């Protein structure tokens, strides 16, 4: 049997430690092709480039593995890969391993998850991987082991239509992960604070900061899993319809 084709992308840049780890383990499962941003694109969400040209350049960072750096967003990378580089739909699209958690509400802001979601939109099986640590020097040995196992399960069994996986690794030392929990997205948010400052010419500018607030006490959420030393796996979808609200609107609203 021929090996599966796996598209690897991210939002931290084509040469980040996280994507190198993902390329390493995905190469054990199939034929890999890399298409990723030429610079960090964290927090870009599902942005796409419309007002300027997108540059695409092949690089030799991964030896015999075809690899490209793209001047666009993470979603742009997957769009270009599917339209201009790949000869057929890959068997799997994986994004990451991101530096920083993309659990709960972070999934909406994440370039990592948006790249994976773009893959799912065009019909690929897709997974986004994120590490809770922001330390780019973290040892990712344990994360690679779980990423390989989860990717193999998707390749073997597939996912429901229009569904992808948001996988987050807990903030732990090597060997401390207890296992995997399939769970729901926690109800949480960022309580933001824009710090006002003044530039040398007297102009005002703002710097975004804030703190993460979770009011979800459930023990079936991604935040609970991460806090209790488990890898969280949340099935997500790009259909944002609140289906349970349709009957309410039809009944209660005078439309």
Query: What pLDDT, in 10s, does the model give residues 170-225?
Result: 987 656 899 999 999 999 888 878 889 988 998 999 888 888 888 888 899 999 99
pTM recorded for the entire structure? 0.92
75-119 pLDDT tens trace? 999 999 999 999 899 999 999 999 999 999 999 999 999 999 999
How many domains is the chain built from? 1
**What pLDDT, on the 0 to 100 scale, is given for residue 146?**
96
Q: Residue 54: how many CB atoms within 10 A of its CB?
A: 15
- State the DSSP H helix or E strand holding residue 18, giving kind and residue range, or none if neither: helix 17-26
Residue 211 within any structural domain of the chain? no
Residue 121 within any structural domain of the chain? yes
CA–CA dist 168, 131 (Å, integer): 6
Residue 111 within any structural domain of the chain? yes
**What pLDDT, on the 0 to 100 scale, is given for residue 1?**
61
Residue 213 within any structural domain of the chain? no
Residue 246 within any structural domain of the chain? yes
Listed in sequence order, the residues at least 6 apart from 65 whose beta carbon sits closer than 8 Å to its beta carbon are 23, 27, 32, 33, 34
**What pLDDT, on the 0 to 100 scale, is given for residue 138?**
86
Residue 203 within any structural domain of the chain? no
**CATH value at residue 237:** 3.40.1210.10
Residue 35 within any structural domain of the chain? yes
CA–CA dist 113, 130 (Å, integer): 9
**What pLDDT, on the 0 to 100 scale, is given for residue 211?**
83
Domain that holds residue 155: 5-186+218-252
| Burial tier of 219 (Cβ tally within 10 Å: 0-12, 13-18, 19+) | exposed
- pLDDT mean across residues, the chain: 92
182 and 220 in contact (C-beta within 8 Å)?
Answer: no
CA–CA dist 102, 112 (Å, integer): 8
Residue 168 within any structural domain of the chain? yes
**What pLDDT, on the 0 to 100 scale, is given for residue 255?**
86
CA–CA dist 121, 118 (Å, integer): 5
């Amino acid at each position: 049997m021929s090996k599966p084709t796996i598209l690897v992308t991210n939002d931290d840049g084509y040469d980040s430690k996280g994507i190198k780890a993902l390329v390493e383990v995905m190469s054990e499962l199939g034929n890999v092709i890399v298409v990723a941003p030429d610079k960090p694109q964290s927090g870009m969400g599902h942005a796409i480039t419309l007002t300027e040209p997108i540059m695409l350049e092949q690089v030799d960072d991964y030896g015999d593995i075809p690899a490209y750096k793209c001047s666009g967003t993470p979603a742009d990378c997957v769009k270009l890969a599917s339209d201009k580089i790949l000869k057929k739909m890959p068997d799997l699209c994986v994004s990451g391993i991101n530096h920083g958690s993309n659990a709960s509400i972070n999934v909406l802001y994440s370039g990592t998850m948006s790249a994976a979601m773009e893959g799912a939109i065009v019909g690929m099986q897709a997974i986004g991987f994120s590490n809770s640590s922001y330390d780019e020097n973290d040892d990712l040995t344990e994360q690679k082991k779980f990423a390989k196992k989860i990717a193999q399960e998707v390749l073997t069994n597939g996912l429901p239509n229009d569904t992808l996986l948001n996988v987050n690794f807990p903030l732990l030392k090597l060997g401390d992960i207890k296992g995997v929990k399939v769970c729901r997205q926690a109800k949480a948010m960022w309580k933001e604070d824009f710090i006002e400052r003044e530039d040398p010419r007297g102009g005002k500018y703002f710097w975004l900061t804030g703190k993460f607030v979770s009011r979800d006490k459930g023990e079936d959420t991604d935040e609970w899993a991460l806090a209790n030393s488990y890898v969280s796996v949340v099935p997500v979808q790009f259909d944002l319809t609140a289906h349970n609200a349709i009957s309410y609107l039809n009944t209660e609203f005078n439309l």
